[in-house]
Amino acid sequence: MSMTKAARDNAGITPEAERMPRGSLGGLIDSTEKDMNILIGGSAADCDSSLNCSLARNPAGTLRTVTRVLHLMNVRDIEKKSHRQALVRAGKKALAKIGEYQP
């Protein structure tokens, strides 16, 4: 369902932005880039401890962050093997925690 021109103008939505797929908006890339810089900007041990703290609070959010950061690292050809290993370990822990039965 398309918005009327008046509704688009009131919401400040440009016609180009309305035609863009929802997943291609710049805010998602910006937030992922920010998360990536936080996680891989320091040591691999810092990355691991940050992810473990996040995992305790929000395993689904941690898994989402891990997948987005790993994908962005692949697209940008960033190797950082030890950081990748920390991200994968956190992703595995997040999946295990999500899969646990909690009555």
Which tens digit of pLDDT belongs to each residue from 54-72? 999 999 999 999 999 999 9
Is the Cβ–Cβ distance between 82 and 44 less than 8 Å? Answer: yes
| pLDDT in the model for residue 81 | 95
Say how many CA atoms lie within 13 Å of 38 toward its Cβ.
Answer: 13
- Band the pLDDT of 103: cuts 50, 70, 90: confident
Is it the case that residue 1 has pLDDT exceeding 50?
no
**Domain positions in the chain:** 25-99
**Three-class SS of residue 79?**
coil
